[in-house]
Amino acid sequence: KLDSHPSGRHFLHIPGPSPVPSRVLRAISYQTIDHRGPEFGEFGKAVLSNLKKIFKTDQPVIVYSASGTGSWEGALVNVLNPGDKVLFYETGQFANLWRALATRLGLHPEVVGKPGQDTWRWGVDAAVIEERLRKDTGHEIKAVCVVHNETSTGVTSNIAAVRKAIDDAKHPALLLVDSVSGLGAADFQHDKWGADVTISGSQKGLMLPPGIGFNALSPKAIEASKHNKMPKAYWAWDEIIESNKNGYWPTTPSTNLMYGLHEAMEMMLAEGLDNIFARHQRLAQACRHAVAAWGLENQCLDKDTFSPVLTCIATPEGLDADKLRKHALEKFNLSLGTGLGKIKGKAFRIGHLGDCNELSLMAALSGVEMSFGAMGYKPKASGVVAAQEFLK
Ligand code: PLP
C-alpha cells in the first residue's frame, strides 16, 4: 500500500496504535536473550519498577503478552465469580465491547448511562453509579466497570469521582478501570484514585506496537483473586506475581516488545509525566480550535471531559466520514480513525497521542482540511489557521 506513496512518510493519526519513536523501534531490534537468564531478571525488575511509576502505584502490575482485550479478560476472571452481577457505564463502543466480553464469560452485566442524553457524548456521571449502588442493598453488584478514556468518542472520565461514588454508597464493589488509551497520555493515578484493577495496553500512550497488556492491581483485587472461582490459567495473577518478584515470568514474555517498553518508559520519565500530559492537553486544544473553525461538532458535548488523547468529530448529513478518511489516506497518506459502532460513517477521529508534536498535528489537520473540498464540504473557516493561531 505504501508503495503508492513513493516519497515522504505515513501520517498515523488514529487513536492507537500510535507512531512508535525510532528510539523505541531500535530497542525492539536488540538481540533476543534468554528470558530465564540472569540478565533478563535484572531487566524484568527494572521494567516492573518503571511500570509502577507510570501507573502511579505501589502495587503489582501484571504484564501480559496480549492486546487490551486480553487484559480486560484477565481483570474479570481474576476477581469475579461465575454469574456475578457487574455494573457497566456505557460511554461508547469500548465500554460495550468490554461488557460483551463479560457476558461471554458468564457474568451478568447491567448497563447504566447518562440519563436523558446520548450517553456516547458524555463522560461517566458518577451520581448515576452512586444511585444504582445505593439501591443494591444486598450487594449483588460485585464490580463497577468504567472506561477512563473512551477511544470511540474522545471522552475522558473522572475516575476519582467514580471511586467516591462507590465509597459514598458504602458499597463493597470493586472498581475496574479501562485505561487502555488513557495511560501515558492523560493523567492516571491508580492508587490515589482507588482503582482495584486498571487495564491497559502498549499501543497508545506508551508509544509501542500492539502486543503487551497490563493489569495494575490493588490489595483488595489480589485478595479477591485468591478466592474466586472463575476458570483461569494463562490469565491467573498468582504465578505471575510470584515469578515477578525475581524479574521473571512463568511463561515466555514478549522479550523484544519489553525492550521497547523499557525504552519508552525511560523516555517518558525523562520528559516528565506532567509535561507529557500538558503536551497532550495543548495539542487536543489546538485540534478543538480547528474543529470549531471548520464548523463541525465535537462528539463529546461536555467540555470537562474532552479527551487529551484524541478528538472525535461528528460529521453533518452529507459529509460521509469514511469517504473523507479514504480520501485523506489515498491522497495524502494520512490515517484517521473511523467512527465505531453506532457512529460509523457519522464521525471520524484524530489521534494526537504519544509521539506527536505541533507539526505532526498540523499535518493531520491540513490533510483533513484538504480533503473537505473533494467531499463537497465547505468549512466555515480554516481549522489549520485556527490551530496555528493557538499554537504559535
Ligand atoms: N479499551 C479501549 C479504551 C481501547 O481503545 C481498546 C482498543 O482500541 C481496547 C480496549 C481493546 O484493546 P485491543 O484492541 O488492544 O484488544
pLDDT in tens, 52-93: 999 999 999 999 999 999 999 999 999 999 999 999 999 999
Protein residue with its CA nearest to atom 2 in ligand 1 = 180
Cα torsion angle, 55, 145, 200, 350, sign: negative
Half-sphere exposure of 4 (CA within 13 A, CB side): 7
Q: What is the residue with the minimal CA distance to atom 13 of ligand 1?
A: 68
Q: Is the pLDDT of residue 1 over 60?
A: no
Average pLDDT, the chain: 97
Q: Which atom of ligand 1 is nearest to the CA of 150?
A: 3
Chain-centre distance of CA 111, in angstroms?
Answer: 20
The closest residue, in CA terms, to atom 5 on ligand 1 is 151
The pLDDT, as a whole number, for residue 5 is: 62
Residue 18 CA to ligand 1 centre (angstroms): 13
- Among 176, 180, 183, 309, say which to mutate for ligand 1: greatest number of ligand atoms within 8 Å of CB: 180
Q: Is the CB of 68 under 6 A from ligand 1?
A: yes
- Give the ligand 1 atom nearest the CA of 179: 3
Q: Please say if the pLDDT value at position 21 is more than 70.
A: yes
What H or E segment, with its residue span, contains residue 326?
Answer: helix 321-332
- Ligand 1 centroid to Cα of residue 180, in Å, is 6
CB 309 within 8 A of CB 350: no
Domains in the chain with CATH codes: 2-20+273-391 (3.90.1150.10), 22-269 (3.40.640.10)
Whether ipTM > 0.95 holds is yes
Which one of 14, 73, 90, 94 would you pick to mutate in the ligand 1 pocket, going by the greatest count of ligand atoms within 8 A of its CB?
A: 94
What is the separation of C-alpha 203 from the centre of its chain, rounded to a whole number of angstroms? Answer: 9
pLDDT in tens, 349-368: 999 999 999 999 999 999 99
Atom of ligand 1 nearest to the CA of 152: 5
On the 0-12 / 13-18 / 19+ scale of CB atoms within 10 A, 86 is buried
**6, pLDDT greater than 70:** no
Alpha carbon of 147 to ligand 1 centroid (Å): 10
Q: Ligand 1 mean position to 145 CA, how many Å?
A: 14
**C-alpha span between 338 and 97 (Å, rounded):** 16
Is residue 349 annotated as involved in ligand binding?
A: yes
